[in-house]
Amino acid sequence: MTSTTLTPTRLFADPPLLPALPQQARFGPVAKANNQEYVVYLQSSAHDREQLELWRCDLSSTTPYCWLAADQLKDSNQSSAQETEAERAERERKRQFSSGITSYQISANGERLLVPHEGCGYIFEITSKLGEPIYTTPKGVRQTDMHLSPTGQHLSLVRAGDLYLVNLKSGAEIRVTQDGSDTVSNGTADFIAAEEMHRFTGHWWSADESCIAFQRTDNTPVQLTYRHDIQAAQIDLIPQRYPYTGEANAAVTLGVYQLGPKTTQWLDYSTDPQAYLARVDWLGDKLCTQVQSRNQQRLELQYWVGAENRWQSLLSEKSNTWIELHDNFTEVVDQANPGFLWTSERTGTSQLYFYPMAPGQVTPNEPIGLTSQGAVNAVVKVRDGKLWFTGWDTNPTEQHLYQVELDGSSPAKRLTKTAGWHDTKVSPSGDRLLDQFSNLGQPPELALVEPTTGERWPFAGGPISAAAPYHQYATQHCSSELGELKAADGQTLHYRLTRPHSVAAQGAPLIVHVYGGPGVQRVKNEWPPLSNQLFTQAGFGILELDNRGSSNRGTEFSAPIYRQLGVAEVQDQLVGAQFAQSLDWVDANRIGVYGHSYGGYMTLMCLAKAPAVFKAGASIAPVADWHLYDTHYTERYLDTPSVNPDGYASSGVIAHLDGLVGKLLLIHGMADDNVLFSNTTLLMHELQSRGTPFELMTYPGAKHALQETSVAAHRFELIVDFFRRNL
């Protein structure tokens, strides 16, 4: 078999080297009419990897088929208006970069399907074969944040900053709010909620559809700045209300609209005007909010007692550092023992608790599920006194699905057997699993699984077949290995190391691929990104290490970065680099580093703080000065600039630039609205004032993710060439 060297152009070209894994895969809600279980997911079309189609697989046949393609939607109903700023912001916050059908919703009763597409909404009655839509957005109108009500009788949507409801039987529209403007929006998540809290909606239906809770956001208090959105042939001056750390956030209020009397009641969810509305949910007929203090050291879960016009606390979480938000608040519907599930890091790692709501029941003291040093990541399903969740028990580089009795009467049982990383869903009956899985030796696979026998029916992905385009590169594929090191405080650091395809007599150069920021875990027993192969096939080793502060390890592992960034993280990356220098195949004098976003920041800090070790670095979209980043993210770790000025000064890159003597490549998108381009212009100015040479590449029109195919190929070509020349 002939073998070819992988190039950036081929990596990002069509057809994909490996089958694109389906997105948003889940079991569909079962309709009472047919009681048929099925799986739904989005899959790239055969002719364009960036265009997604909606696929379905009925479990009675296990044969998937295309349920709906974007070109089946009626062009006559498409809006002639251009994409709105709200739509662009929604895609960027969700990191949603594909075209075609990029999202879908099935009503909770399994009877209707909503497909948003290019600012329009299409609603279908669900059958095995979809017919004509029963609703389409009026022509010439664009809208966002569309949701079906639980029984699919209503559609809620946001249009020009106002919340609307559509009665799908009569077609009548209700305009719930009237004050949408350039600074006021209703029914959508604000910038901080979407970008940092990962809450992407701003309205919530009650189960009986009698009312809808919604968020009103007034951005007037947020500092108005002007961002230069630099495109290929023009420069747009974009007014942006960006909530810089220490400054004012948007004013967020919570309303509840009653469909019967057509009235809105406004609820003060906190006496603290600086508190964050972190989550909104319904627990039966109770409207619940999770309210987070500005310093993120307190989280209150409460429900509204309408008869008494007040909030009642369900529980409070407190921390000396910060509290991680989660989406594991789950209603338990059980007539004998109703309640809710909750995860908390109060004992050091994320554990699972059941809170009964029946009168006289005692607040839980002991967690259910994993009670060792492991962690619960996500509640997957609860049914008939059983619950399923994902997490890890002894090894944080793997994720598995577990099942446990709700009453905690028996230890958790692991259902996924193969070593690796499993992201698993459970069917409505609890009899089948939908498992997205990979490990170091197998590319990602989505499969239907029978948990008792372990039999798998793959939908996509899996082992590399002779028909896969990547097969011609297989003989040069470089495998990875996992390992452990010790941080200065004795905590375990996990790394993933990939040796190059060939090593010269003098040894091979090594590149540390870093993210290093909180909220992210990079080192997993999963199929590594194929971009690593660009470096290994060019003769570079790749080292990835999760330093202290990384996620999925608990509060003790996170705490060292509190109030001072770039210290423990760099120390730990040095532990990894020094370990690599001890390997007989590594040239200790040729070690580089590269990363994106927090990884771009870490690249600069490693170069500046450890120039004797790191000789070259490629920094992509870095934060240069934490004063230039947003409130919720930055204050979580550093507090405010007025309270912790020394922490801000020492955590910024500028204070350490005198130590930067290695080769540097700076890369940034010129329309980045997350890590603003001003971070790189500040760096350019500071480096120039010091006479420090560097290389620069900017991408007109590109935002933070730099996801465009041409940009991705060009960027990696540039980075590989940079390290070839400098290592």
Q: CATH code at 547?
A: 3.40.50.1820
Query: What letter would DSSP give residue 680?
Result: H
Residue % of the chain over a pLDDT of 90: 78
What is the per-residue pLDDT for 246? 97
What is the per-residue pLDDT for 521? 97
pLDDT band at 80 (very low <50, low <70, confident <90, very high): low
Q: Of residues 597, 632, 651, 673, which has the active-site annotation?
A: 597
Residue 302 in domain = yes
Give me the mean pLDDT over the 401-414 stretch.
89
Residue 512 in domain = yes
Q: Of residues 400, 494, 668, 704, which has the active-site annotation?
A: 704
Question: 642-699 pLDDT, tens per residue?
Answer: 999 999 999 999 999 999 999 999 999 999 988 999 999 999 999 999 999 999 999 9
Last residue of a domain, one of 272, 304, 325: 325
Residue 26 in domain = yes
* Strand residues in 514-630 grouped as ranges (E): 541-546, 586-596, 616-620
Residue 399 in domain = no
Question: 499-533 pLDDT, tens per residue?
Answer: 998 898 899 999 999 999 999 999 999 999 999 99
Same domain, 177 and 109: no
**Listing from the earlier edge strand, what are the strands of the sheet with 330-332?**
330-332, 339-344, 351-356
Question: 185-201 pLDDT, tens per residue?
Answer: 999 999 999 999 999 99
Same domain, 179 and 301: yes
Question: 529-558 pLDDT, tens per residue?
Answer: 999 999 999 999 999 999 999 999 999 999
What is the per-residue pLDDT for 82? 77
Same domain, 174 and 71: no
For residue 185, list its beta bridge partners. 217
What is the per-residue pLDDT for 78? 57
Q: Between 598-609 and 568-581, two packed helices, what is the crossing angle to 10 degrees?
A: 70
Residue 406 in domain = no
CA distance 505 to 535: 18
Same domain, 26 and 134: yes
Same domain, 94 and 186: no
Active site residue 400: no
Burial of 262 (0-12, 13-18, 19+ CB in 10 A): exposed
Are the beta carbons of 485 and 579 closer than 8 angstroms? Answer: yes
Among residues 25, 9, 158, which one has the least CA distance to residue 426?
A: 25
What is the per-residue pLDDT for 340? 94
Half-sphere exposure (CA, 13 Å, Cβ side) for 609?
Answer: 23
User: How many residues does this entry show for the chain?
Assistant: 727
Query: Which of 23-32, 43-52, 357-366 is least confident?
Result: 357-366
Last residue of a domain, one of 142, 167, 197: 142
pLDDT band at 92 (very low <50, low <70, confident <90, very high): confident
Among residues 194, 341, 348, which one has the least CA distance to residue 278?
A: 194
Amino acid at 439: N
Give me the mean pLDDT over the 367-390 stretch.
88
Same domain, 27 and 131: yes
CA distance 500 to 479: 9
Among residues 468, 460, 467, 470, which one has the least CA distance to residue 43?
A: 460
Question: Is the pLDDT at 228 greater than 90, yes or no?
Answer: no
Same domain, 486 and 613: yes
Active site residue 344: no
CA distance 399 to 423: 7
- Start-to-end C-alpha separation, the chain: 32
Question: Is the pLDDT at 76 greater than 50, yes or no?
Answer: no
Residue 441 in domain = no
Question: Is the pLDDT at 77 greater than 60, yes or no?
Answer: no
Same domain, 567 and 629: yes
Question: 317-376 pLDDT, tens per residue?
Answer: 999 999 999 999 999 997 677 899 999 999 999 999 999 887 666 677 788 877 667 999
CA distance 306 to 165: 23
Same domain, 622 and 697: yes
Last residue of a domain, one of 275, 304, 325: 325
The domain of 623 spans: 471-726
Give me the mean pLDDT over the 72-95 stretch.
71
**Listing from the earlier edge strand, what are the strands of the sheet with 135-136?**
105-106, 112-117, 120-125, 135-136
Q: How many CB atoms lie within 10 A of CB 585?
A: 13
CA distance 370 to 372: 6
Same domain, 563 and 611: yes
**Number of separate domains in the chain:** 3
What is the per-residue pLDDT for 81? 64
Same domain, 506 and 544: yes
How far is residue 438 from each of residues 274, 276, 418, 703, measured CA to CA in Å?
Answer: 43, 37, 9, 30
Question: Is the pLDDT at 398 greater than 50, yes or no?
Answer: yes
pLDDT band at 588 (very low <50, low <70, confident <90, very high): very high
Residue 10 in domain = no
Same domain, 609 and 703: yes
Active site residue 704: yes
Residue 232 in domain = no
